């Protein structure tokens, strides 16, 4: 079987042909240098790095795992060396501010690198991935002194970062956290408490780790209104800005997990650790949303990564594995049996993986471009539009793409049959590594409540309507295209239904607040299928235009796009029918059984 290959052709289709990426960069202000030549060079070099350095240590990293010994964590063989090459090549600062040593490219460029790195080796990719969130948080909320102290090292990759939220008694409900921060005479704070499930919380790849920590001040009010945010470095920077004396934060253990064994998920003890307030007192959760939103988009990318990995391995295997004869007649008469790719059920699984991977890629790339807009010199109006789009689509991307990414990973194992259950093929690792994506950065249920409760109902439809209008505008533009008649009709119908269902749930919630929680996950998945349908419609329109060009040199590639779009609309989009039924059933079937009457 072939080794992992970065899906460069499909990435270029998404960026250059469907989303007009380089035009987007040239129009933003500040990113005019990003043309096709630069984009191609970065994609090509990034692909070489992930294929040659990260993919080969993915499986070995899983099998060896991280090792903990008396607060010290050792990463798997090759991880530290690969990270050193990553830093030396300047990848860590690809999209960072040149003031702090970065290359000043759009944030989306870092997303493209993360997509490839994450697909090749998700455990390794989490180390630099979390640093981006720490960097963004300090950039958005740190003082000038804090920026000078930390951003240069985070930009270069010499130091990494983490986010420290969770405690043993509070996961999603951060209002319950107990870690406290007591003021010191020098303006710093002494932090006391324990944080758990801290990804990349301790390791041997850098000489310092910058922890972004939620804690309470002594006079803080209860609940989420009383949380502040602190920078707590593992090693306190010295007068020269280098890693100095050891701070009072230590790794008490690392978790023994179902997957992502190559990334250290740490329990961190803060025993009077010196930290510095970032942002206003008691507004830490608001500041932390900068990190959390970056992490949610990163987790959406994880769903895409595991879907792509499963698809690549499944496709190679299905072409090589000989089993039975096709029901419609021998397809390989010179062989003992036909390759399993000829069987309809295997086709169903492969096409599902392909549709979810390639559609998910368009979705992630589109959101990454919205992030570009919010961080560029674009107009206030353009930034407002991008912000609103991100607010609506981020919880959908995080939850839908991780749920469907797990589906694709499982389909990969299924295509391999019994071999998929065996470690050496890598398919069971992909399933194990993927499973966490539906849990961290807010479970699917939490994302669904955020979408339906806060973003849609909370805005009285104000965030949803512009996106519906975007889809409807696309439909209007292609109304006369006979090749897209079915696609346009399906999109229009679903847009109208999406709006009506939203109204129905909102009306029911006025008399019973549980109606939102009862419908929320189904609503999110329903929304996700429509969003992906929209991106597949755009892919179909792009492919049709390419085939109409007499100079087209890749007719098979574009025809495959059209065929996959048709598969999506005919085989996957109809899943919305069952979701409509379960949403319409309301809260009663869920709440009718008294909690005391659950028996086993």
Residue 5's pLDDT band (cuts 50, 70, 90): very high
Task: Tell me the three-class secondary structure of 253-317, residue by residue.
Answer: EECCCCCCCCCCEEEEEEEEEEEEECCCCCCHHHHHHHHHHHHHHHHHHHHHHHHHHHHHHHHHH
**Nearest Cα to Cα of residue 259 among 440, 419, 408, 84:** 440
E strand or H helix that includes residue 16: none
What does CATH list as the number for 287-446? 1.20.140.10
Do residues 583 and 523 touch, judged by C-beta distance below 8 A?
A: yes
Burial class (CB in 10 A: 0-12, 13-18, 19+), 221: exposed
**Nearest Cα to Cα of residue 25 among 95, 100, 90:** 95
CA distance 459 to 421: 46
Residue 2's pLDDT band (cuts 50, 70, 90): low
Digit-coded pLDDT (tens) for 494-538 = 999 999 999 999 999 999 999 999 999 999 999 999 999 999 999
CA distance 340 to 327: 12
Digit-coded pLDDT (tens) for 126-166 = 999 999 889 999 999 999 999 999 999 999 999 999 999 99
- Rounded to two decimals, what is the model's pTM? 0.97
Digit-coded pLDDT (tens) for 94-103 = 999 999 999 9
Q: First vs last Cα of the chain: how many Å apart?
A: 46
CA distance 471 to 120: 33
Do residues 359 and 530 touch, judged by C-beta distance below 8 A?
A: no
Do residues 402 and 300 touch, judged by C-beta distance below 8 A?
A: yes
Q: Which residues does the annotation mark as catalytic?
A: 441
Kindly tell me the sign of the dihedral angle through the C-alpha atoms of 93, 94, 96, 101: positive
Do residues 455 and 391 touch, judged by C-beta distance below 8 A?
A: yes
Give the side-chain half-sphere CA count within 13 A for 350: 19
- Residue listed under structure tokens 């090509």: 44
CA distance 135 to 137: 6
E strand or H helix that includes residue 159: none
Q: Is 214 in a helix, a strand, or coil?
A: strand
Q: What's the average model confidence in pLDDT over 333-353?
A: 97
Question: What contacts 328, CB < 8 A, 6 or more positions away?
Answer: none
CA distance 294 to 288: 10
Digit-coded pLDDT (tens) for 68-88 = 999 999 999 999 999 999 999
């Amino acid at each position: 079987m072939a080794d992992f290959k970065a899906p460069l052709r499909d990435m270029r289709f998404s960026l250059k042909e469907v989303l007009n990426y380089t035009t987007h960069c040239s129009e933003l202000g500040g990113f005019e240098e990003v043309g096709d030549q630069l984009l191609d060079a970065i994609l090509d070099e990034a692909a070489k790095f992930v294929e040659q350095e990260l993919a080969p240590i993915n499986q070995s990293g899983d099998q060896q795992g991280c090792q903990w010994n008396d607060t010290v964590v050792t990463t798997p063989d090759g991880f530290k060396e690969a990270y050193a090459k990553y830093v030396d090549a300047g990848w860590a600062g690809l999209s960072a501010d040149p003031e702090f040593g970065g290359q000043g490219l759009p944030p989306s460029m870092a997303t493209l690198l993360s997509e490839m790195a994450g697909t090749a080796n998700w455990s390794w990719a989490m180390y630099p991935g979390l640093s981006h969130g720490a960097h963004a948080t300090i950039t958005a909320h740190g003082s000038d002194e804090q920026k000078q102290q930390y951003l240069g090292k985070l930009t270069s990759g010499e130091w990494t970062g983490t986010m420290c939220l969770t405690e043993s008694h509070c996961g999603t409900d951060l209002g319950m956290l107990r870690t406290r921060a007591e003021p010191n005479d020098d303006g710093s704070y002494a932090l006391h408490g324990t944080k758990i499930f801290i990804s990349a919380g301790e390791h041997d790849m850098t000489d310092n780790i910058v922890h972004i920590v939620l804690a309470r001040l002594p006079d803080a009010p209860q609940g989420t209104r009383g949380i502040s945010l602190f920078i707590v470095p593992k090693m306190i920077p010295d007068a020269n800005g280098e890693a100095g004396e050891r701070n009072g934060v230590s790794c008490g253990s690392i978790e023994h997990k179902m997957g992502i064994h190559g990334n250290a998920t740490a329990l961190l003890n803060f025993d009077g650790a010196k930290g510095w307030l970032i942002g206003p007192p008691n507004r830490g959760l608001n500041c932390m949303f900068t990190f959390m939103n970056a992490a949610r988009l990163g987790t959406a990318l994880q769903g895409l990564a595991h879907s792509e990995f499963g698809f690549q391995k499944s496709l190679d295997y299905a072409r090589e594995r000989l089993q039975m004869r096709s029901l419609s007649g021998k397809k390989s008469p010179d062989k003992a049996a036909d390759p399993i790719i000829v069987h309809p059920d295997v086709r169903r699984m492969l096409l599902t993986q392909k549709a979810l991977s390639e559609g998910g890629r368009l979705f992630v790339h589109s959101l990454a471009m919205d992030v570009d807009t919010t961080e560029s010199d674009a107009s206030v109006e353009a930034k407002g539009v991008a912000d609103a789009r991100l607010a609506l689509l981020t919880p959908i991307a995080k939850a839908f793409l991780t749920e469907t990414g797990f589906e694709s990973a499982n389909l990969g194992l299924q295509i391999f049959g019994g071999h998929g259950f065996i470690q050496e093929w890598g398919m069971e690792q992909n399933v194990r590594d993927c499973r966490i994506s539906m849990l961290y950065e807010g479970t699917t249920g939490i994302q669904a409540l955020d979408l339906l409760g806060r973003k849609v109902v909370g805005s009285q439809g104000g965030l949803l309507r512009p996106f519906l209008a975007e889809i409807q505008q696309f439909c209007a533009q292609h109304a006369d295209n006979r090749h897209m008649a079915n696609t346009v009709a399906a999109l229009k119908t679903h847009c109208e239904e999406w709006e009506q269902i939203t109204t129905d749930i909102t009306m029911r919630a006025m008399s019973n607040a549980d109606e939102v929680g009862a419908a929320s996950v189904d609503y999110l998945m329903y929304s996700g299928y429509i969003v992906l349908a929209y991106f597949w419609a755009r892919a179909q329109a792009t492919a049709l235009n390419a085939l109409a060009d007499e100079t087209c040199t890749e007719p098979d590639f574009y025809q495959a796009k059209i065929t996959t779009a048709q598969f999506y609309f005919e085989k996957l989009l109809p899943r919305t029918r069952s979701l409509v039924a379960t949403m319409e059933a309301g809260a009663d079937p869920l709440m009718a059984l008294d909690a005391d009457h659950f028996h086993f």
